[in-house]
């Protein structure tokens, strides 16, 4: 089973990249299932119902969110309405939506779970380790292919989650930092791991926002309006090959697709 997971989609450049590349990967058989992190798809802040539809039309099967999950008021109902859009599993009880989704593939069910780190994240979350342990107790018997999106800032917390779930899930893939790491590997126990998938959006930027505005903020400390950049659009993510019979990962391949510049 070939699964693509796409790193944080930022604004309209990211959505355009996602649609072009995911559609191509699906058409030529490189990806049968596409999971995408959409926490920055609405101009950097959250998602809307319309944009979720756009991403599904562009090839996504499951959308995960992150700390920007509640940024768009309009989208709050979406999380209870559409089970294909998930927020982190370990958010406090009472939040809209669910932290996991299962889809039926040609080779059986595949589950996607999102976890939120608690180091330097600025969002209230319960313990992701305990939340995942509970989820596995309830669900591991019914589904073998399990992809975990570990949305966190701290590398150590992501690596620790990879170790915690080693041999128990198909993949632990990090999101949130928008900078792709080069540590992709499949462990001897059959879990694919990568600390951060990177960003799908404008790379001539500071993690997706226009450089000038971010520099002004850092250098002067003055508030500035952050806008989505436009140059050097890339798709970052990873391609997994899973054994559906065991749920083990056989292969992980890091992806960087550079889109042609509109100026040529």
Residues that bind Fe ion (CB under 5 A): 8, 39-40, 66-67, 176
| Separation between Cα atoms, residue 89 and residue 116, nearest integer Å | 8
Residues 68, 151, 176, 236: which is the catalytic one? Answer: 68
209 DSSP 8-state letter: B
* Spatial distance between the Cα atoms of 221 and 171, rounded to a whole number of angstroms: 40
As a whole number of angstroms, the distance between CA 237 and CA 141 comes to 28
**68 belongs to the catalytic site:** yes
Give the shortest CB-208-to-Fe ion separation in angstroms.
8
**C-alpha angle 208-234-34 in degrees, rounded to nearest 5:** 105
Token duo for residue 260: 């042609």
Task: Yes or no: say if 85 and 78 are a contact pair by the CB < 8 Å rule.
Answer: yes
- Beta carbon of residue 15, minimum distance to Fe ion (angstroms, whole number): 14
Distances in Å between the Cα of 45 and the Cα atoms of 55, 167, 216, 249 are 15, 34, 20, 32
Cβ closest to Fe ion, residue 21 vs residue 38:
38
Nearer to Fe ion by Cβ, of 26 and 178: the residue is: 178
CA distance 178 to 189: 28
- Minimum gap (Å) between residue 50 Cβ and Fe ion: 20
Residue 40 or 90 having the CB closest to Fe ion: 40
Taken in order 48, 53, 58, 59, is the CA torsion positive or negative? positive
Tokens of 249: 């990962």
Read off the tokens for 230: 């436009």
Task: Give the residue with the Cβ less far from Fe ion, 85 or 145.
Answer: 85
Q: By C-beta, is 144 or 149 nearer to Fe ion?
A: 149
Structure tokens given for 52:
């979720």
Q: Nearest approach, Cβ of 39 to Fe ion (angstroms)?
A: 5
Q: Quote the least distance from Cβ 140 to Fe ion, whole Å.
A: 27
Active site residues: 68
């Amino acid at each position: 089973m070939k699964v693509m997971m796409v790193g944080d989609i930022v604004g309209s450049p990211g959505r355009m990249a996602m649609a072009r590349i995911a559609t191509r990967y699906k058409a030529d058989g490189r990806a049968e299932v596409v999971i995408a992190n959409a926490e920055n798809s609405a101009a950097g802040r959250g998602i809307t119902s319309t944009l979720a539809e756009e991403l599904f039309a562009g090839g996504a099967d499951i959308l995960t969110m992150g700390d920007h999950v509640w940024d768009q008021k309009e989208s709050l109902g979406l999380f209870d309405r559409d089970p294909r859009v998930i927020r982190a599993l370990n958010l406090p009880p009472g939040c809209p939506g669910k932290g996991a989704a299962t889809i039926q593939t040609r080779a059986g069910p595949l589950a996607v779970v999102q976890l939120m780190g608690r180091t330097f994240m600025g969002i209230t979350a319960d313990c992701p380790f305990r939340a995942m342990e509970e989820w596995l107790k309830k669900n591991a018997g019914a589904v073998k292919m399990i992809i975990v999106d570990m949305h966190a800032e701290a590398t150590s917390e992501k690596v620790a989650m990879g170790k915690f779930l080693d041999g128990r899930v198909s993949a632990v893939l990090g999101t949130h930092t928008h900078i792709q790491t080069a540590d992709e590997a499949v462990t001897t126990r059959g879990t694919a791991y990568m600390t951060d998938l990177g960003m799908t959006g404008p790379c001539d930027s500071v993690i997706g926002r226009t450089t000038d505005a971010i520099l002004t903020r850092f250098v002067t400390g003055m508030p500035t309006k952050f806008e989505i950049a436009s140059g050097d659009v890339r798709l970052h993510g990873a391609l997994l090959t899973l054994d559906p019979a065991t749920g083990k990962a056989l292969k992980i391949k890091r992806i960087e697709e550079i889109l042609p510049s509109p100026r040529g």
